Structure 1
Amino acid sequence: MTQEKIAGHLLVECLIVQGVTHAFGVPGESYLAVLDGFHAHADQLRFVTNRQEGGAAFMAEAQGKLTGRPGVCFVTRGPGATNASIGLHTAFQDSTPMVLFVGDVASDARDREAFQEVNYLSFFGASTKGMAKRVERIDDARRIPEYVARAFATAMNGRPGPVVLVLPEDMLTQTVSAEPLPRVEPVQAWSDPGALRTLRELLLQAERPLVIAGGGGWTPQAAAALQRFAENWQLPVANAFRFQDCFDNHHPNYAGDVGLGISPALAARVRESDLLIAIGPRLGEATTGGYTLVEAPRPKQKLVHIHASAEELGRVYQATLAINATMNAAARSLEVLTAPPGVAWGQWTLACHAEFDANVDVANGGIVLPGRIDMPAIVHTLQRLLPADAVLTNGAGNFASWVHRFFKYHGLAKGLKTQLAPTNGAMGYGVPAGIAAAILTGRTVFTIAGDGDFLMNGQELATAVQHGAKSIILLLNNGTYGTIRMHQEREYPGHVSGSSLANPDFCALARAYGYGAECVTHTAEFEAALQRALAAPNGTLIEVWLDPEVITTRSTLSAIRSTALKTQA
């Protein structure tokens, strides 16, 4: 006879069956029964207590990226749910599997604008235009296993993304005899054999093909199969915006990343290509140069678009050939696609990689920046000293452009994900994502942040210390919201408004949380500081004072000097 249990405990048992080992969140009185379930199963599932729901949601999103299975976040009703929406939006635009559990008002108080009540279906707007793939409320505790299994399946199948499950407080305290459903595995959608034959014909007709890989759903096996496909056909491969670890940057077929501030040489290659093979990315605004490199709705290049969701195919671009397939299935189909003895684009591929190497080679760049900090040299120091399996994280801001351009990411084909970055441009992502990576993997984690970016979720250093996580944070302090200042200098030169920052003592702040801290004012000081951080048992913040006149674009990395910067920074 099945033993009865509190519904909140059943929910935790369902998560354990789905393979969840960590859940992130901020506790709330609306789901006390679930918190009691975490206590009862603490040896199997660890609840990581965060300091703000936005940080918790970012950690869950990072968990989804790292594991390929839904990251899990728990928040309370109203303010908790709205705070967590930034992580949900990131998961949606980044195609990351995630499940957000929201404790809700009791059923007898619903629809009265009760304390902290929100209509979550309206707020999260489950649709292709909303923030979630599905939003559901569990009113019957006996159906918890059904809802949880469906949430995990929805989050992983097709285009991965977030699901919201709303949990009425009184439902969670009911006593039930239900049992968890079995672990859900994602469904694989295989490429149509006829479409593969057409793709092969398009390749044989091409002279300047280019692969763009990215999006959600990639596994080490899929990345390895993609690499074999590229090698068999001698194809150049570029990675989509902030999916720079889909294809190994050290590989001789790598062409660079197609994103914000794209290398002018690579932008020209995309435009000149006569066959683009997009495997996984939606081909959003950042990856297409504002829909100019690949024009919508009908590109000038022949376009083969391979995506896990049929709804994404034809939504923006009318492709020459559209293939509905998941990344594992697509890559495995492509790697066995018979290649001819020789191809017409061998020199094209070599040239693409040579241009990438030149773009990341500081000696060839002739970059001279104002101030005492040489950021390209610092990134090259990172390349030398960080272990190959290190996880690099960042939020949004001009500071991220340094690692995006000068760091060569190791590919997922080597077995591990090494980049966590928000394609939706969410500030404040890097710090909590890095802490989540440290908790989940135990690997070396390096985060680059700006001064504005850091203060959006810097309080999660307390979470890191509480849960024994170590991350190394490089904080670039230039006293500005640098990206906004860059745009101001271009559009309204000399008219600085709203982009200057008065900052705290970041090193003192980090030490107060329990992190080590160092301040670097000269490039020569950085290497020793990084070595000390790598050797330290706890996390470290390395603050670098960057001249405020250094406002970058990835294509030129030029130093913009202006009277406004000199007098107001």
Structure 2
Amino acid sequence: MLLKGASILVECLKEQKVDTVFGYPGGAVLEIYDELYKHQSEIRHILTCHEQGAAHAADGYARATGKTGVCIATSGPGATNLVTGIATAYMDSVPMVAITGNVAVSLLGKDSFQEVDIAGVTMPITKHNFIVKRVEDLADTIRRAFQIAQSDRPGPVLVDIPKDVTIKKAEYERQEPASISPMTEYISESALDEAVKMIRSARQPFLYVGGGAVISGANQEIVRFSEKLKIPVGSSLMGLGGFPGDHPNFTGMIGMHGTKVSNVCVTHCDLLIVAGARFSDRVVSNVSTFAKHAKILHLDVDAAEVDKNVMTAHHVIGDLNATFKALNERLQDFTIDNGGWLRAVQENKKKYPLRIVEDGRLHADYILRSIYEIAGDDAILTTEVGQHQMWTALYYPVRKPRTLITSGGLGTMGYGFGAAMGAQLGRPDKRVFNIAGDGSFRMNLNELATAVHYQIPMIQVVMNNQTLGMVRQWQTLFYEQRYSQTNLDDRGPDFMKLADAFGLPAFHVTTPEEVRPAIEAALRESGPVMIVCDVPKDDKVFPMVAPGASIEEVMLDED
């Protein structure tokens, strides 16, 4: 049938079973928004207060559901306002399709009103991007964008559509979405045999899981692998949930703010099995001392990550779930002789527990443990970036994949609120808590209006210490307490009055006794809620590894 470009776009979104898009209209996308109006019973559009909020919401929706998130913005500043959200998704391998409008094809490259070469701007932060100059190419481009976003290692794809392409007509014929198969063609018998040989010869193996464990859905096979071979398991920030956080074999996060147990395991293991992780500098710290006694076996879907940051002894390239299934089959009759190693790890867990402060004051660890005890597996946590993010990673036992959503690679302050909206809309069966510091929360608090308008029942928790806490921590430890531009105590806002202005209920928590009643009351609300928690300004995140130090040289609170 003969359809306008805007109609073709919406039909293609329906082909891909898109049920929710996030965006902000403007002149270059008016035709698209007119079509969305006609199809509002099939595709729900969430109007955010800012395009960055739309990108983060699409990201959170994707991470919580495993589907591809979609956001839309107009040309020029609308498109550039998506950039931080696209980069966030790129760094954490999140499937997203960002659709931007642009000036007419004849005006491209002429510095026209609200024109930006958004394809050029986003080239380094997208898995692929397109500018569609012919309406005849639009349908196939949209289909290809979704396939690229979801396949192999996922990531964001941008499709830039000039306005006249949305107006012109072309023939459209509906197609079923192409199936996305796990990447297994490079998982060779020889690669698996060598991996099995390394595992069989190890006496002190340690498994380090990254975000790929969550993305691939390999968590059950990884648990089977760990339990069968009695292998302790640590995680990157992005890997939390890829292995149950309350499992006896789990040692916690690795790296700069990793647990002492995990960091000691990496340093003293004789085989480090790395599953779906990229050896981030926040994990590795000093490369020359990282896993210095170990052979490294790298399992990953992306060959570009092998030997990029850390040299490995062997690798298997392919879908992690398929790789662990194959390894488990080959090792089903093997019993590893590492009981002494596992016992030593368990002893270290007792020797180096995370410190729980009980001095009568309100601290973040108590708030997070209370959320877990009350909401448990019915909750999804999103976070902003800073101390509260690390406290969440350390003290909240993430048991299931896709229940902790955070900006790991880019470290985007202001990410969490939009992500929480997207996650809550994508998973209405869960309650979403966004854990924020007051500094991060101030970055995108305008989206409170979005949550209230759509009555998104997310719970915003503000750890209010009246400072940019993580930066202050570094200033305390390494800059002789010169607190340059990190104090927020005289800058406001009054968060309780702010909640009232936006029209959502709020609870002000100042003592440990007030925490549980506030959480329970928030869970009874049918719309968005804010809980403002006053925590001490000089609470710090420990463990911590100083810059340039070995990850074994962990500073604990008593240090």
TM-score by length of 2: 0.92
Aligned residue in 1 for 2:65: 67
Aligned residue in 2 for 1:157: 151
| Preserved CA contact (<8 Å) 1:215 1:243 | yes
Aligned residue in 2 for 1:463: 450
1:87-486 aligned within 5 A: 87-125=85-123, 130-190=124-184, 191-216=187-212, 218=214, 221-289=217-285, 291=287, 294=290, 300-352=293-345, 355-356=348-349, 365=355, 367=357, 372-412=361-401, 417-423=402-408, 424-442=410-428, 443-486=430-473
Q: CA RMSD in A?
A: 2.2
| Preserved CA contact (<8 Å) 1:64 1:98 | yes
Q: How far apart are the structure 1 equivalents of 2:398 and 2:261?
A: 20
Q: How far apart are the structure 2 equivalents of 1:546 and 1:292?
A: 38
Q: How far apart are the structure 1 equivalents of 2:147 and 2:530?
A: 39
Deviations 1:47-66 (A, max 9, x none): 11111111111111112212
Q: How far apart are the structure 2 equivalents of 1:70 and 1:353?
A: 40
Q: How far apart are the structure 1 equivalents of 2:328 and 2:425?
A: 35
Deviations 1:31-53 (A, max 9, x none): 11111221222222111111111
Residue 81 of structure 1: SS of its match in structure 2? helix
What is the deviation of 1:315?
Answer: 2.6
What is the deviation of 1:209?
Answer: 0.8
Q: How far apart are the structure 2 equivalents of 1:290 and 1:278?
A: 17
1:513-532 aligned within 5 A: 513-532=502-521
Aligned residue in 2 for 1:539: 528
Deviations 1:258-280 (A, max 9, x none): 24411122211111111111111
Q: How far apart are the structure 2 equivalents of 1:115 and 1:203?
A: 61
Deviations 1:153-195 (A, max 9, x none): 2112232111111010110111222224321333322221211
Tell me: CA distance 1:107–1:386, structure 2 relative to 1, closer, same or farther (3 Å): same
| Preserved CA contact (<8 Å) 1:223 1:331 | no
Partner AA of 2:341 in structure 1: W
Q: How far apart are the structure 1 equivalents of 2:524 and 2:288?
A: 46
Deviations 1:447-466 (A, max 9, x none): 11011100111111211122
Match of 1:51 among 49, 52, 55: 49
What is the deviation of 1:114?
Answer: 0.9
| Preserved CA contact (<8 Å) 2:257 2:541 | no
Q: How far apart are the structure 1 equivalents of 2:302 and 2:169?
A: 39
Partner AA of 1:447 in structure 2: N
Larger mean Cα displacement after TM superposition, 347-356 or 333-342: 347-356
1:496-515 aligned within 5 A: 496-501=483-488, 502-515=491-504
| Preserved CA contact (<8 Å) 1:138 1:168 | yes
Could you tell me which runs of 5 or more consecutive residues in structure 2 were left unpaired when the two chains were aligned: 545-554
Aligned residue in 2 for 1:567: none
Larger mean Cα displacement after TM superposition, 336-345 or 263-272: 336-345
Q: How far apart are the structure 1 equivalents of 2:461 and 2:556?
A: 19
Partner AA of 2:290 in structure 1: V
Partner AA of 1:388 in structure 2: D
| Preserved CA contact (<8 Å) 2:152 2:301 | yes
Q: How far apart are the structure 2 equivalents of 1:516 and 1:356?
A: 41
Tell me: CA distance 1:220–1:285, structure 2 relative to 1, closer, same or farther (3 Å): closer
Tell me: CA distance 1:105–1:454, structure 2 relative to 1, closer, same or farther (3 Å): same
Q: How far apart are the structure 2 equivalents of 1:341 and 1:422?
A: 39
Tell me: CA distance 1:46–1:359, structure 2 relative to 1, closer, same or farther (3 Å): farther
Aligned residue in 2 for 1:566: none
What is the deviation of 1:290?
Answer: 5.4
Q: How far apart are the structure 2 equivalents of 1:168 and 1:301?
A: 53
Tell me: CA distance 1:69–1:358, structure 2 relative to 1, closer, same or farther (3 Å): farther
Deviations 1:350-406 (A, max 9, x none): 443564577666xxx36366x821332222212210131310110101122222111
| Preserved CA contact (<8 Å) 1:68 1:217 | no
Tell me: CA distance 1:94–1:402, structure 2 relative to 1, closer, same or farther (3 Å): same
Q: How far apart are the structure 2 equivalents of 1:282 and 1:109?
A: 42
Partner AA of 1:333 in structure 2: A
| Preserved CA contact (<8 Å) 1:439 1:467 | no
Tell me: CA distance 1:112–1:221, structure 2 relative to 1, closer, same or farther (3 Å): closer
Q: How far apart are the structure 2 equivalents of 1:491 and 1:341?
A: 49
1:10-29 aligned within 5 A: 10-29=8-27
| Preserved CA contact (<8 Å) 1:229 1:335 | yes
Q: How far apart are the structure 2 equivalents of 1:486 and 1:421?
A: 21
What is the deviation of 1:281?
Answer: 1.2
| Preserved CA contact (<8 Å) 2:364 2:388 | no
| Preserved CA contact (<8 Å) 1:238 1:258 | yes
Partner AA of 1:327 in structure 2: L
Q: How far apart are the structure 2 equivalents of 1:437 and 1:508?
A: 26
What is the deviation of 1:552?
Answer: 2.7
What is the deviation of 1:92?
Answer: 1.0
| Preserved CA contact (<8 Å) 1:78 1:117 | yes
| Preserved CA contact (<8 Å) 1:278 1:304 | yes
| Preserved CA contact (<8 Å) 1:360 1:407 | no
What is the deviation of 1:246?
Answer: 0.7
Partner AA of 1:393 in structure 2: T
What is the deviation of 1:341?
Answer: 4.7
| Preserved CA contact (<8 Å) 1:393 1:433 | yes
| Preserved CA contact (<8 Å) 1:552 1:559 | no
Partner AA of 2:378 in structure 1: D
Aligned residue in 2 for 1:489: 476
Residue 311 of structure 1: SS of its match in structure 2? helix
| Preserved CA contact (<8 Å) 2:58 2:71 | yes
| Preserved CA contact (<8 Å) 2:421 2:458 | yes
| Preserved CA contact (<8 Å) 2:6 2:32 | yes
Residue 387 of structure 1: SS of its match in structure 2? helix
Tell me: CA distance 1:117–1:459, structure 2 relative to 1, closer, same or farther (3 Å): same
Tell me: CA distance 1:225–1:516, structure 2 relative to 1, closer, same or farther (3 Å): same
Q: How far apart are the structure 1 equivalents of 2:296 and 2:97?
A: 33
Tell me: CA distance 1:341–1:320, structure 2 relative to 1, closer, same or farther (3 Å): closer
Tell me: CA distance 1:514–1:347, structure 2 relative to 1, closer, same or farther (3 Å): farther
- Equivalent residues, number: 543
Q: How far apart are the structure 1 equivalents of 2:66 and 2:121?
A: 26
What is the deviation of 1:520?
Answer: 0.9
Deviations 1:208-238 (A, max 9, x none): 1111112247458521122112222222122
Residue 89 of structure 1: SS of its match in structure 2? helix
Deviations 1:112-168 (A, max 9, x none): 11112112233112xxxx211112101111211211121112112232111111010
